[in-house]
């Protein structure tokens, strides 16, 4: 049985210099907390972040083609998915989903758009003028 | 004015058990992080394919958010003040009062995404991050966040955002602190009960939890290769598992090591030492195996053409076997 816990000391750039701690045994065989860095964790985090970047790039294409609305772009920019965004603005998912389409977006009132702008922490004009 | 509780910022492996450990210790009940984790039977495994997070299944290696806080007060008979607030104004008024006038240290539930002191790459919409507020300095709250090496600070506006984030596990301003702590707690029967409860939970016949849940996830991983899922989805799927295992608060099968540390500490009490020792070894072994499993997941997503889902699934099954052995032993404690 492998009962030694090794503490990885790898680089993890996603943590911006901080190190998290984990439990491992000291020389006396007692548990203690140790700072560690894991490249496995780093990779997993990077993939999650990259996925949002990819979604953003695809969304920009769709905005150009007049399919997607800026709301979809800012949803990814804020690392949200549909359920998270729908909770953030307090509307049903099917309604938010409609707002992700360009031709619906163009007909939305300022009041409604402000709800989104607030959720994204931007001003209304940034949302309306987004290209 | 009452004396400020003696308090020392420490870094912990997991936010909720860490906060509970610091909080109770500051109010006079010295309790380690592994104890806080173990006494609340917080080790688990859950795989719910029908609950989606970013289009990926819900996978958890520890109990639901808030369960450590709620359970610790139940098992130790600690009276906890637990409050939610209708709006940030009321929440901040109360928080300021508690921290400055009453000199209290309080725990808060927050969303990582809105905490400015977190590195950008760590900020996701995870609504159940716990931290401690121990003071006010000008516009800022002084914060002991168990993920960080040093104490940090955060402005009222930004902390309010984090406390009133919407979505799954929305914190609604949740604030907590112990009101009364009983004297002379007899830990032995409490530890025993907590361990047996945890063992039963891990050995549950419910197919999406515990040992069975691990095996079910293994099966799903194995089927990824032949499914129509594209490589991007597989990559996201595998790293998602790793993130749920490692990222949310702790590291490298970290919850297993945390629980093993608890089983070691439990040996100081009058319980069957042989069982605890053996189970602790098995859980460490499972933690190490889960770590290899995570490595395989990452290797598979790195070189998707060399992806061997059978090998990855087998590792997870291996870990589940050690855990089954460990918890079958512990159930008899």
Q: Do B287 and A5 touch (CB under 8 A)?
A: yes
* Residue B196 tokens, joined: 């047996």
Q: Give the model's pLDDT for residue B249.
A: 55
Identify whether residues A33 and A52 lie together within a single domain: no
3-state secondary structure A34-71: EEEECHHHHHHHHHHHHHHHHHHHHHHHHHHCCCECHH
Domain for residue B50, yes or no?
A: no
Q: Do A79 and B147 touch (CB under 8 A)?
A: no
The whole-number average pLDDT for the span B204-222 is: 96
Identify whether residues B302 and B203 lie together within a single domain: yes
The whole-number average pLDDT for the span B45-63 is: 89
Q: Give the model's pLDDT for residue B1.
A: 38
CATH number of the domain bearing residue A106: 1.10.260
Which residues touch A84 (CB under 8 Å, ≥6 apart)? Answer: B125, B166, B167, B168
Identify whether residues B25 and B135 lie together within a single domain: yes
By C-alpha distance, the chain A residue nearest B235 is A47
Identify whether residues B152 and B301 lie together within a single domain: no
pLDDT confidence of B305, banded at 50, 70, 90? confident
Domain for residue A114, yes or no?
A: yes
Identify whether residues A74 and A13 lie together within a single domain: no
The answer to whether B295 faces chain A, any CB pair under 8 Å, is yes
Identify whether residues B160 and B264 lie together within a single domain: no
Domain for residue A2, yes or no?
A: no
Mutation target among A9, A23, A77, A78 for the B interface, most CBs of B within 10 A: A23
pTM: 0.94
CATH number of the domain bearing residue B161: 3.90.70.10
Q: What is the residue whose two structure tokens read 């090794």?
A: A6
Domain for residue B49, yes or no?
A: no
Domain for residue B96, yes or no?
A: yes
CB-nearest to A2 from B168, B235, B285 is B285
Largest CA distance in chain A: 69
Q: Give the model's pLDDT for residue A2.
A: 83
The answer to whether B35 faces chain A, any CB pair under 8 Å, is no
Identify whether residues B131 and B166 lie together within a single domain: yes
Q: Give the model's pLDDT for residue B2.
A: 42
Q: Do B252 and A16 touch (CB under 8 A)?
A: no
Q: Give the model's pLDDT for residue A81.
A: 92
Q: Which residues in chain A come in under a pLDDT of 50? A: none
The CB density around residue B118, as the number of other CB atoms within 10 Å, is: 22
Domain for residue A1, yes or no?
A: no
Give the DSSP H/E element, type plus range, for residue B81: strand B79-83
Identify whether residues B111 and B171 lie together within a single domain: yes
Identify whether residues A33 and A55 lie together within a single domain: no
The whole-number average pLDDT for the span B176-191 is: 95
| DSSP-assigned states of every residue in B210-277 | HHHHHHHHHHHHHHHTTSS--HHHHHHHHHHHHIIIIISS--SSHHHHHHHHHHHHHTTSSS-HHHHH
Identify whether residues B201 and B312 lie together within a single domain: yes
Q: B252 pLDDT exceeds 70?
A: no
Domain for residue B3, yes or no?
A: no
Q: B208 pLDDT exceeds 50?
A: yes
Domain for residue A88, yes or no?
A: yes
Domain for residue B208, yes or no?
A: yes
Identify whether residues B158 and B221 lie together within a single domain: no
Identify whether residues A25 and A60 lie together within a single domain: no
The answer to whether A1 faces chain B, any CB pair under 8 Å, is yes
Q: B5 pLDDT exceeds 60?
A: no
Q: Give the model's pLDDT for residue B3.
A: 44
Domain count, chain B: 2
Identify whether residues A55 and A112 lie together within a single domain: yes
Domain for residue B218, yes or no?
A: yes
Q: Give the model's pLDDT for residue B248.
A: 67
The vertex-B17 CA angle with B13 and B20, nearest 5°, equals: 130
Identify whether residues A83 and A62 lie together within a single domain: yes
Identify whether residues A32 and A63 lie together within a single domain: no
Domain for residue A111, yes or no?
A: yes
Domain for residue A42, yes or no?
A: no
Identify whether residues A52 and A29 lie together within a single domain: no
Identify whether residues A56 and A20 lie together within a single domain: no
Q: Give the model's pLDDT for residue B8.
A: 84
Residue positions counted in chain A? 131
CB-nearest to B285 from A1, A49, A80 is A1
The answer to whether B261 faces chain A, any CB pair under 8 Å, is yes
**Per-residue pLDDT tens for B24-52?**
999 999 999 999 999 999 999 999 999 88
- Picking from B150, B180, B210, the residue at the C-terminal end of a domain is B180
d(CA B42, CA B64): 8
Identify whether residues B122 and B200 lie together within a single domain: no
d(CA B178, CA A86): 35
Q: B253 pLDDT exceeds 80?
A: no
**Per-residue pLDDT tens for B155-165?**
999 999 999 99
Mean pLDDT of chain B: 92
Q: Taking CB atoms and an 8 Å cutoff, what residues of chain B touch A48?
A: 124, 236, 239-240, 243
At B161, is the secondary structure helix, strand, or coil?
Answer: helix
By C-alpha distance, the chain B residue nearest A44 is B239
Domain for residue A85, yes or no?
A: yes
Q: B6 pLDDT exceeds 70?
A: no
* Residue A21 tokens, joined: 């701690």
Buried b (16+ CB within 10 A) or exposed e, B38-71: bbbbbbbbbbeeeeebbebbbbbbbbebbebbeb
Q: Which residues span the domain enclosing B265?
A: 187-331
Q: Which residues span the domain enclosing A29?
A: 7-37
Domain count, chain A: 2
Q: Give the model's pLDDT for residue B168.
A: 84
Identify whether residues B170 and B194 lie together within a single domain: no
The whole-number average pLDDT for the span B228-241 is: 90
Identify whether residues A57 and A89 lie together within a single domain: yes
Q: Do A20 and B235 touch (CB under 8 A)?
A: no
How close does chain B come to A125, measured CA to CA in Å?
22
Closest CA to B113 of B124, B99, B105, B129: B124
Identify whether residues A52 and A32 lie together within a single domain: no
CB-nearest to B252 from A22, A47, A90 is A22
Identify whether residues B215 and B317 lie together within a single domain: yes
Q: Taking CB atoms and an 8 Å cutoff, what residues of chain A touch B124?
A: 48, 79
Mutation target among B32, B157, B252 for the A interface, most CBs of A within 10 A: B252
Q: Do A81 and B55 touch (CB under 8 A)?
A: yes
Mutation target among B21, B52, B239 for the A interface, most CBs of A within 10 A: B239
Identify whether residues A28 and A71 lie together within a single domain: no
């Amino acid at each position: 049985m492998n009962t030694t816990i090794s503490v990885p000391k790898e680089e993890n750039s996603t943590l911006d210099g901080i190190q998290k701690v984990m439990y491992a045994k000291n020389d006396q065989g007692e548990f203690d907390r140790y700072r560690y860095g894991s490249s496995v964790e780093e990779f997993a985090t990077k993939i999650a972040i990259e996925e949002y970047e990819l979604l953003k790039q695809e969304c920009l294409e769709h905005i150009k083609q007049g399919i997607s609305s800026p709301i979809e772009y800012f949803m990814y920019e804020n690392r949200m998915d549909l359920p998270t965004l729908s909770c953030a603005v307090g509307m049903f998912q099917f309604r938010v989903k409609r707002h992700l389409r360009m031709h619906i977006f163009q007909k939305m009132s300022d009041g409604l758009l402000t709800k989104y702008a607030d959720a994204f922490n931007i001003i209304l004009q940034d949302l309306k003028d987004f290209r | 004015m009452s004396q400020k509780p003696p308090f020392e910022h420490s870094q912990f492996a997991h936010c909720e058990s860490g906060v509970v450990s610091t909080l109770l210790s500051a109010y006079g009940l010295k309790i380690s992080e592994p104890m806080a984790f173990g006494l609340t039977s917080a080790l688990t495994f859950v795989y719910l394919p029908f609950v989606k997070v970013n289009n990926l299944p819900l996978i958890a290696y520890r109990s639901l958010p808030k369960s450590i806080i709620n359970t610790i007060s139940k098992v130790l008979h600690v009276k906890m003040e637990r409050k939610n607030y209708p709006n940030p104004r009321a929440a901040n008024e109360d928080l300021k009062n508690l921290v400055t006038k009453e000199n209290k240290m309080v725990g808060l539930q927050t969303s990582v995404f809105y905490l400015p002191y977190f590195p950008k790459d760590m900020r996701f919409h995870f609504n159940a991050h716990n931290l401690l507020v121990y003071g006010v300095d000008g516009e800022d709250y002084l914060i002991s966040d168990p993920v960080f090496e040093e104490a940090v600070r955060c402005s009222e506006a930004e902390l309010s955002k984090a406390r009133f984030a919407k979505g799954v596990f929305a914190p609604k301003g949740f604030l907590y602190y112990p009101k009364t702590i009983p004297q002379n707690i007899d830990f032995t029967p409490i530890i025993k009960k907590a361990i047996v409860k945890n063992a039963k939970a891990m050995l549950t016949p419910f197919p999406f939890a515990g040992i069975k849940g691990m095996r079910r996830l293994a099966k799903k991983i194995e089927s990824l290769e032949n499914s129509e899922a594209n490589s991007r989805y597989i990559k996201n799927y595998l790293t998602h598992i790793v993130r749920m295992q490692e990222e949310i608060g702790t590291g490298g099968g970290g919850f297993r090591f945390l629980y093993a540390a608890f089983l070691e500490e439990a040996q100081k009490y009058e319980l069957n030492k042989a069982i605890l020792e053996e189970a602790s070894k098995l859980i460490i072994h499972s933690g190490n195996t889960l770590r290899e499993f995570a490595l395989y997941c990452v290797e598979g997503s790195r070189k998707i053409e060399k992806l061997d889902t059978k090998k990855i699934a087998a590792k997870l099954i291996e870990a589940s076997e050690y855990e089954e052995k460990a918890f079958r032993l512990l159930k008899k404690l």
